[in-house]
Amino acid sequence: MVKTYSVAVLLGGPSSEREISLRSGRAIAGALAGAGHRVTEVDVRGEDGAELEGLEAEIVFVALHGRFGEDGQVQRLLEKRRLLYTGSSPVASRLAMDKLESKRQFLRSGLDTPAYQVLSRTDGPVDLDRCARSLGFPVVIKPRAEGSSVGVTVHRDRARLSEGLELATRNGRTALMEKFIEGREMTVGILDDRPLPVIELRNGRELFDYDAKYVDGATESIVDPALPKRDRVALQMTALRAHRALGCEGASRVDLFLTPLHEIQVLEVNTIPGMTERSLLPKAARAAGLAYTDLCDRMLRLAFRRERETGSWVAAALL
């Protein structure tokens, strides 16, 4: 008989991605309940961890997107309370959420990532113009630590650089300016240290931003797009290297660009990928033969296996 567990699903959260997290968390909770687990939904509203006080569960499924959920904060609180949780460690979560630190890790690991400049909230038009010219237009301005492409803008000239910086620094003092990469936008899910099928993202926008992900019904996500085998394998292996470079565990999703010259540029790693009905990780898992309920259950059990292999007190108590 397959063992089932009492599970607390953390959803909502205080970030700009709260509504998507609610959708992800509710879908996960439904799937886990359908698999026989005893599930409690925990709506997190602040960053003080108040909802974790007195929480009784054998495992916590973290479905919090963006700030507090993906940046290592909630993981540290869970560890302090000796609660087992899904996904990556506090350190890996922080590295993945911080786009500057991610880039540094990618480069140390020999991975290509778009050229960039670090911006400050106080930078003026002259500073921004200098950075853009050093990279070469077009450029992308993005927050240093936000998810779902929130606050990301593309600039083909200097006209609105200051507006882009203002948007990107609403929740932080620094931002990144990147060289815009012309090419095909790809994403590869990683599950249990193995790459899932490649998905290509196609939409009428310059970037696969928040609206393209969750609002625009015209956005296409093509599983196993037409690619030479060498490109498909290279994308999967590059994604796996990026996942490992940050020390990620369980499941993640890696966003990449494939250029017309068959070069691969790593954009970022998402340690808590979306799990809504339109989300990419579940779609890739289905293409690999794993139904949504089985995916959620697998993510849950990977956390127990990690604890067992590291010999922690949690595994000794529960397995």
Catalogue the active-site residues: 17, 148, 214, 253, 255, 268, 270, 274
d(C-alpha 242, C-alpha 184), whole Å: 18
For the chain, what is the total number of helices (H) and then of strands (E)?
A: 11, 12
d(C-alpha 132, C-alpha 231), whole Å: 30
Contacts of 75 (CB under 8 A, 6+ apart): 62, 85, 87, 88, 89, 90, 93
Residue among 7, 5, 11 nearest 274 (CA): 11
Question: How many C-beta atoms surround the C-beta of residue 260 within 10 A?
Answer: 8
DSSP H/E element including 319: none
SS3 content of the chain, % helix, strand, coil (to 5): 40, 25, 40
d(C-alpha 200, C-alpha 224), whole Å: 8
Read off the amino acid at residue 26: R
Read off the amino acid at residue 44: V
Q: Take residue 232 and report the two structure tokens written for it.
A: 């498909």
Q: Are 147 and 70 in contact (CB under 8 A)?
A: yes
d(C-alpha 93, C-alpha 74), whole Å: 10
User: Backbone dihedral region of 148: left (phi > 0), alpha (psi from -120 to 50 degrees) or beta?
Assistant: left
Residue among 268, 295, 275 nearest 93 (CA): 268
